[in-house]
Amino acid sequence: MSRIKELRRRCGMTARELAERVGVTQRAVFKWERDGTERMRLGCAVRVARALGVRVEELYEEEGDGK
């Protein structure tokens, strides 16, 4: 499971809710969850992190990093 999806689910948020909070389409959220954060713009990463209540760095951590 992707890190964004893991964090989103932990917050009890749907992809649609995250998209609305970040100001992107639900399709963009699905793309990030599928492809990861490598190509995500920094501004989007900041908004996603804020919406999920985490530090930006946490979006880029591998699953199972002990966090």
Q: According to the model, what pLDDT value does residue 1 have? A: 77
pLDDT < 70 stretches in the chain: 63-67
Query: What is the predicted pLDDT for the residue at 32?
Result: 94
- List the domain boundaries for the chain: 3-60
What is the per-residue pLDDT for 13? 98
CATH class of 3-60: mainly alpha
pLDDT for the residue numbered 65: 54
Contacts of 43 (CB under 8 A, 6+ apart): none
H helices of 11-60, in order, are 15-22, 26-35, 42-52, 56-60
Which pTM value belongs to this model? 0.86
